[in-house]
Structure 1
């Protein structure tokens, strides 16, 4: 198995990877945000990619999500552990809580959500946006690897950013019963599903967004709590990699089956070439 990890550079620096090497992977969807670092941990191959670049130079909107997921697929990854910094929409999820959500609500506006199009129509199921098997494994790893408060399941509402929410938006999200708010779950989760990757995230709470009186989120608070969360998140990821079941099964690995609505012979050759890595086995005539 090859396990992909998407997150900040602090994760890579903390993982005790052996036999590391760096690969620059070009994709039909542009350049990834950084090179992919490959190494070994606990007998498993790991491929690490910093979502925002090595110097955090890409905004949530400008991240090369398609290129990042494609690069991990090209590197042989079949499951992905992501990390996110999030704001809490619940009093009982204070900063430095770890959350492993199982649902997403998409409020992004300016991001490419699919690898397909250009003469190829794909209607993919996304009722369970995070792989349930991976969610359960990450939550168990979090409980075993850290003393931090851990919340399993719940809804991550993904906003466009880079600005934080308005107070009206934050209060609306709370009224819906959603749990955390962040800026990077979408389209990453959608693209991981299209690439048939088992995908889930461990999110570290950094703030109370802007709904809580006298606790309006600031960048200073986010960075301070993100740093405090880093040790716990690193421990969770290392534990999850070391204990990843060999008999792990995921419905995501056949997610494209029955979803392509365009006959293979009608798909333009250029499009077929671009998606060969992702969908080639389903386009054999």
Structure 2
């Protein structure tokens, strides 16, 4: 039975948690290049946590410049089984107000300048993304939000845009017509790569604005966004502190009931004799479970 280790990807403010013990920053190397930052290891309420600043401490990287493959790879190498992704978004719905939290369950990916897969020429794999987030982990996160007394919305479709600029008014209206609920720049290809790495992934997003569609709120104002972000940091901390004891009490939760930790079982297409040894070496963490079972 694999022990649950929770990875948290988000802003630096989340890591200043009362009760976080055995804290240590460790640089984990990845064959896919440099991750956004070192990993902060610690224990909270008996649950092992690994924090990764998505944009690096001091917000060094734009959404396009983040090395998403390296970020997920180092978390995998650190023994992370589950990822709680916390990020900021704009809202396409009147009832999703600045300050609200949403547990996202679907995506439309409009990014175009990012490496979106660990696999490629010499080792081809196609994982299922019909349900791109882990419902089981989302259930646990929902219970944690209830326990913490934090208001939230369950389910929502996230439009992932390339950025770094915000939407035009025409784009904002188009995404609303598509049925999207929120818009952000950082969850893709993060969610896709987490699935390829066979990790449970739950995104909780914090609404900061109404994008540019709302006639009563004008265009996106970065000062207002930063103000709401600062207020949302406390909610993010409350969430982490509420999730930790729930997971700590579920030491035998894995394997994942939704199959996230076996996503590669039917995904690999390339026959063993055609697999590129150099790519296989880079995939040593991502495909470790699969090759161990093939070797039996």
TM-score (norm 2): 0.93
Which residue in 2 is equivalent to 1:277? 285
Residue 92 of structure 1 pairs with residue 95 of structure 2: yes
Q: Distance in 2 between matches of 1:264 and 1:17?
A: 44
1:216-236: per-residue Cα shift (whole Å, max 9, x none)? Answer: 211111111011111112101
Unaligned runs of at least 5 residues, structure 2: none
* 8 Å Cα contact 1:146/1:236 also seen in 2: no
Post-superposition shift, 1:138? 1.2
Residue 203 of structure 1 pairs with residue 211 of structure 2: no
The partner residue of 2:253 within 235, 243, 248 is: 248
The aligned length equals 284
Which residue in 1 is equivalent to 2:132? 129
| Other structure's SS at 1:205 match | strand
Which residue in 2 is equivalent to 1:115? 118
Which residue in 2 is equivalent to 1:257? 265
Post-superposition shift, 1:104? 0.8
Which residue in 2 is equivalent to 1:172? 174
Post-superposition shift, 1:118? 2.9
1:163-209: per-residue Cα shift (whole Å, max 9, x none)? Answer: 11111111111112211100011000000111111011111100000
Unaligned runs of at least 5 residues, structure 1: none
1:100-142: per-residue Cα shift (whole Å, max 9, x none)? Answer: 0111110101111101113111011011111011111112211
* 8 Å Cα contact 2:46/2:244 also seen in 1: no
TM-score (norm 1): 0.96
Q: Distance in 2 between matches of 1:15 and 1:232?
A: 14
Which residue in 1 is equivalent to 2:104? 101
Post-superposition shift, 1:15? 5.1
* 8 Å Cα contact 2:54/2:66 also seen in 1: yes
* RMSD over aligned Cα atoms: 1.3
